[in-house]
Amino acid sequence: MREDALKQARILVVDDQEANVRPVERILERAGYQNVRSTTESSRAVPLWAEFDPDLILLDLMMPDPDGFAVMEELAKRLPEGRYLPILVLTADSTSEAKHRALSMGARDFLTKPFDHTEALLRIRNLLEIRLLHRRVEDQNVALEELVRQRTQKLVDALDASKRQSEHRRALLARLGGSHGVGATDAAGDGASG
């Protein structure tokens, strides 16, 4: 995966605490990520997702309504089938229940605060690599579907041309047969004459 493609990836940070958002933004900026948007209003997460189309969401769980679980639930309803959107949960809730619930609801990874910056950046990179590879496959599928559509149309056009040519030949043969007074059965030699 090319490094510049990773650094151009769009990342959305959602955490209700400004004191948590700013350090994450700085970590990402220092690592060279250029397309980072954030919000401290969890109610803005889904509209921002729709507007920004992020490649990765960094999401806190413990936020005022809606909490991170509700955000994931709403995103799951809106994501087109087959779309891969990685969510990395960054939360102070270190319980197994929170981790299991988040991962079962669509989070692809889970880190508890305070987290190791290097580990977080490595996990972010891994998730972005998968996302960008998934997007590449989606793009190739679209290109292949278009190629199949074009080739199918060429076959349909060739079949239509062949049908027209066949009809034209039949019409010519009918005219030729009619102008010589020879019926189709006489030309074939049906053995009736003698």
Mark whether 39 and 119 lie in a shared domain: yes
The pLDDT assigned to 158 comes to 87
Q: Is residue 101 part of a domain?
A: yes
Q: Is residue 48 part of a domain?
A: yes
Mark whether 93 and 52 lie in a shared domain: yes
CB 79 within 8 A of CB 36: no
Tens digits of pLDDT across the chain (194 residues): 578 888 999 999 999 999 999 999 999 999 999 999 999 999 999 999 999 999 999 999 999 889 999 999 999 999 988 889 999 999 999 999 999 999 999 999 999 998 999 999 999 999 999 999 988 888 888 888 888 888 999 988 888 888 999 988 888 888 888 766 555 454 444 544 44
CB 8 within 8 A of CB 34: yes
- Residues 172 and 64: their CA atoms lie apart, in Å, by 81
Q: Is residue 193 part of a domain?
A: no
Mark whether 15 and 91 lie in a shared domain: yes
The pLDDT assigned to 194 comes to 45
Mark whether 162 and 103 lie in a shared domain: no
Mark whether 159 and 96 lie in a shared domain: no
Mark whether 123 and 161 lie in a shared domain: no
Mark whether 70 and 166 lie in a shared domain: no
The pLDDT assigned to 180 comes to 62
Nearest to 107 by CA among 129, 121, 123: 123
User: Residue 159 sits in which domain range?
Assistant: 144-179
CB 25 within 8 A of CB 38: yes
Mark whether 132 and 159 lie in a shared domain: no
Mark whether 114 and 40 lie in a shared domain: yes
The pLDDT assigned to 33 comes to 95
Mark whether 102 and 168 lie in a shared domain: no
Mark whether 159 and 116 lie in a shared domain: no
Contacts of residue 92, defined as CB under 8 A and 6 or more positions apart, other chains included, come to: 62, 112, 113
